[in-house]
Amino acid sequence: MSLAKANDPNSIATHVQVCLDGFIDVCSKLIKAEPSMRQKLSPDLMYDGLGRFRLWVGNIGAHRIGRASLDYKLREASHIRVRIFELLQTLETVLQEAREIITGARLPWEDLSDSDLDASDGEVSQSGDELPSELAQLASNISEINSCLMRLSLAIRNPAPHDQFKESAQIDVTHFEAFDIEHVRGKFPLAAEYLVLRLGKAISRRRHYLRYRQTHRKKLEQGLKPQPRLQELIHPSQETSTAPAPSEKIDSTVASSMPLAIKASTSTTNLDEGDYYEDSLSQTSYASSNSDPCRLRPPPLPADGRDGHPFECQLCFRFTSVRLTPAWHKHVYRDLQPYVCTFNECKCLLCHTKQSSLAQLRRHLGKHQEELSLFALPPHMKEDHNDDNEDQAEIDFMSSVTGSEPSLSPKQVI
């Protein structure tokens, strides 16, 4: 397959640009529309749809050309490329239909007369229930398309964790090593010196990885024009300033008319990372303990993901989809790769506590190493979120898991 070039009508980047331009056009026209039109569809709602689409574009580099293009990445995954094309083409159609309604080029279905409805082959409510406006339906379709694109991205990039850490080795964060080693020494004063050094350097290595993921995310986003503020769309001639792309979702409050074949082809494929994590919970335990108020904990599940919709993880900067807090914690620990070899002996080498079995020793050591790994979290993800209800819910959830061992054992070393 030839490399994607600028203005290539068959490239993903070209369709992405058409959609971005379409979003801007619809948002600017909606702001200037009559109040009755803005009542049917809030400009904020459409603007959020643009922000979520830009989040997908920047995360995956869908706007780029050449060897950095999404076409090139998917050159041996034509089935995913075809689905992305279908979704982008559907999005173009949805935006065009919204533009026609907003500008008055055609009437929305709710404003058609009975004779017009009878003459058309459109759907008519037989129950007498009030149908949502066509603009509201189109907004729901945009939300569906954005979610489908994010789910597809889960299949596009899923390298092995070990390879991810190798790629990050060139980033220098050695100035953290002394700080991280002292943290381990202060937390486990009884641990042998070789183990303190090993665990401290492992924390610094995690910082390597997190910094690499953040840098790589910014690199993917290069070339994507900044999103104008909503107010600036009223006067597009003025110089625009940058604004962070909103990641809020459009709530799908109405039934979607998006082609079912596209939705089915996306949802039936095994692309939902959440299913993997939640299925794996039967093999591991991540129950929290609130007995130690100074104990580090994983960050709370982001609000954007609490209803199961895909969201961008601020650690690995990949899209994930989880529905439960324990599944989110598993994702965090998978990013941090907490387990480091400490040699197999009968007692914990960190706190010298005797354990009755090797399985119990692994779980006990795993808890220590999970907490140490959290020390590498960025400051904005270490906010105080002592939620006893969340902790108790997680403990209750995991209490049903019996005779299980961690699916990521201490043998899986960094």
- Token pair belonging to 189: 């004063």
CB atoms within 10 A of CB 151: 21
DSSP assignment of 134-169, as one string? HHHHHHHHHHHHHHHHHHHHHHH----HHHHHHHGG
Averages of pLDDT over each 10 residues, the chain, 414 residues: 60 94 93 88 91 92 87 84 94 95 88 60 52 88 94 70 54 79 92 89 89 86 79 58 41 45 48 40 40 74 83 88 88 86 60 63 78 82 57 45 38 43
CA distance 381 to 335: 14
Helix (H, G, I), strand (E, B) or coil at 320: strand
Beta-bridge partners for 354: 347
- Please report, for the chain, the start and end positions of each structural domain, with discontinuous segments joined by +: 12-123+131-158+221-260, 161-219+270-399
The CA dihedral of 124, 129, 133, 137, to the nearest 10 degrees, is -80
Element (DSSP H or E) covering residue 388: helix 388-399
Q: pTM of the prediction?
A: 0.62
Whether 209 and 168 have beta carbons less than 8 Å apart is answered as yes
Among 193, 157, 196, which Cα is nearest to 177's?
196
CB-based contacts of 299: which residues, under 8 Å, 6+ apart? 332, 377, 381, 382, 383, 385
- Please give the single-letter amino acid code of residue 189: P
List, in sequence order, every beta strand (DSSP E) within 266-371. 311-312, 319-320
User: What are the phi and psi torsion angles at 147 (to 5°)?
Assistant: -65, -40
Quote the DSSP letter at residue 125.
-
pLDDT at residue number 280:
37
pLDDT at residue number 21:
95
CA distance 84 to 231: 31
CA distance 23 to 222: 20
pLDDT at residue number 68:
85
